[in-house]
């Protein structure tokens, strides 16, 4: 195969990959799903890394590369090219593959077992489309306490983080007998941290009013009985959750404490209708 044939083959392969990216996006959209690649910065923010260390050059499995630091909008989650401006670079690398030219190792972050590309997105895209399973990479390891398992997209990553936060929150309740079997189900990241902060605020408020020190366990029990239960009962009685079947009363409780001043002003204006609250609640999650 001469040079012109190699270029023609690389061009054909690129447009084949582009067509696959477009069709994949359309079919995913019809199912209410997304083909977006994970952003490293978003994953880093969610996973709260503990330390970072250079680990040298390793052979990594391409299937475990799930995101990118800077090019996550140029390729989809299967590293199919989304934009035409990737064409020239993509085709040059494709020709190099045809000629069996050794390419430099890519650079990746290993974030708790998930690989994110720092440099080498086009190389991974071409290799994946050619059926290559492993690639050499300079690895920088970043540790996290959160088990990401086989996470592949943003929704799965958020579920893993929520499960970690839930476990940590329930552990903080382990000494409170009455709450050990209580379900505090949340569907958004950060909600359990808000519950911990609210319990802490309640503890400080009680101590300032009584001028007496109380234990965290006692404060938690009082918070649950005097604040959480009455408010969640009002949420259930309002009927707002019937309009939002995928959210929980704990979700709405967290939203209320985050927006307490705003909701209070709505109540003062005689506007606490379920549909109005539902719109504000839905918009908060959508953002």
What pLDDT, in 10s, does the model give residues 3-19? 788 889 999 999 999 99
Contact predicate 252/191, CB 8 Å: no
Residue 271 is predicted with a pLDDT of 46
Q: Rounded to an integer, what distance in angstroms lies between the CA atom of residue 129 and that of residue 133?
A: 10
Half-sphere exposure of 190 (CA within 13 A, CB side): 7
Q: Could you read off the pLDDT of 43-93 as tens digits, one per residue?
A: 999 998 989 999 999 999 999 999 999 889 999 999 999 998 899 999 999
Q: Rounded to an integer, what distance in angstroms lies between the CA atom of residue 179 and that of residue 199?
A: 13
Residue 180 is predicted with a pLDDT of 58
Percentage above 70 pLDDT, the chain: 87
Phi-psi region of 6 (alpha: psi -120 to 50; beta: other; left: phi over 0): alpha
Residue 266 is predicted with a pLDDT of 54
What pTM, to 2 d.p., does this model score?
Answer: 0.76
Q: Rounded to an integer, what distance in angstroms lies between the CA atom of residue 228 and that of residue 209?
A: 20
Residue 18 is predicted with a pLDDT of 94
| Residue that the structure tokens 């990241």 belong to | 189
Closest CA to 46 of 140, 146, 118: 146
Closest CA to 88 of 9, 2, 10, 19: 10
* Residue 155, both tokens: 């929704």
Residue 274 is predicted with a pLDDT of 47
Q: How confident is the model at residue 178 (pLDDT cuts 50, 70, 90)?
A: low
Residue 58 is predicted with a pLDDT of 95
Three-state secondary structure of 229-263 = HHHHHHHHHHCHHHCCCCCCHHHHHHHHHHCHHHH
Average pLDDT value for residue range 243-264:
80
Q: How confident is the model at residue 184 (pLDDT cuts 50, 70, 90)?
A: confident
pLDDT exceeds 80 at position 27: yes
pLDDT exceeds 50 at position 272: no
Between the alpha carbon of residue 267 and those of residues 203, 271, 279, 283, the distances in Å are 26, 6, 15, 19
Q: Which domains does the chain have, with CATH numbers?
A: 3-142 (3.90.1530.10), 173-286 (no CATH)
Q: How confident is the model at residue 260 (pLDDT cuts 50, 70, 90)?
A: confident
| Residue that the structure tokens 């707002």 belong to | 240
Q: Could you read off the pLDDT of 89-115 as tens digits, one per residue?
A: 999 999 999 999 999 999 999 998 899
Sort strands 114-119 and 134-142 into parallel, antiparallel or unpaired.
unpaired
Residue 284 is predicted with a pLDDT of 52
Q: Which residues pair with 54 in a beta bridge?
A: 140
Residue 4 is predicted with a pLDDT of 83
Average pLDDT value for residue range 228-253:
85
Contacts of residue 95, Cβ cutoff 8 Å, sequence gap at least 6: 6, 7, 10
Type and span of the H or E element at 140: strand 134-142
Average pLDDT, the chain: 86
Residue 148 is predicted with a pLDDT of 87
Average pLDDT value for residue range 122-127:
97
């Amino acid at each position: 195969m001469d040079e012109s044939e190699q270029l023609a083959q690389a061009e054909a392969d690129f447009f084949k990959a582009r067509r696959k990216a477009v069709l994949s996006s359309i079919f995913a959209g019809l199912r209410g799903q997304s083909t977006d690649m994970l952003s490293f910065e978003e994953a880093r923010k969610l996973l709260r890394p503990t330390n970072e260390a250079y680990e040298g050059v390793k052979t990594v499995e391409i299937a475990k590369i799930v995101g990118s630091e800077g090019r996550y909008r140029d390729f989809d989650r299967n590293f199919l090219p989304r934009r035409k401006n990737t064409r020239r670079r993509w085709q040059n690398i494709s020709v190099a593959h045809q000629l069996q030219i050794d390419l430099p190792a890519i650079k990746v972050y290993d974030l708790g077992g998930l690989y994110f590309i720092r440099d080498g997105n086009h190389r991974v895209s071409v290799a994946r489309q050619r059926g290559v399973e492993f690639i050499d990479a300079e690895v920088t390891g970043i540790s996290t306490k959160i088990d990401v398992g086989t996470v592949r997209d943003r929704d799965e990553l958020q579920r893993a983080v929520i499960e970690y936060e839930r476990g940590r929150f329930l552990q903080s309740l382990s000494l409170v007998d009455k709450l050990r079997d209580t379900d505090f189900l949340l569907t958004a990241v950060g909600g359990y941290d808000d519950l911990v902060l609210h319990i802490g605020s309640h503890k400080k408020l009680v101590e300032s009013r009584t001028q007496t020190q109380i234990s965290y366990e006692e404060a938690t029990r009082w918070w649950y009985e005097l604040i959480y239960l009455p408010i969640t009962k009002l949420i259930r009685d309002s009927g707002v959750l019937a309009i939002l079947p995928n959210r929980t009363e704990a979700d709405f409780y967290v939203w209320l404490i985050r927006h307490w001043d705003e909701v209070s002003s709505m109540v003062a204006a005689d506007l606490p209708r379920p549909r109005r609250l539902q719109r504000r609640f839905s918009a908060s999650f959508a953002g």
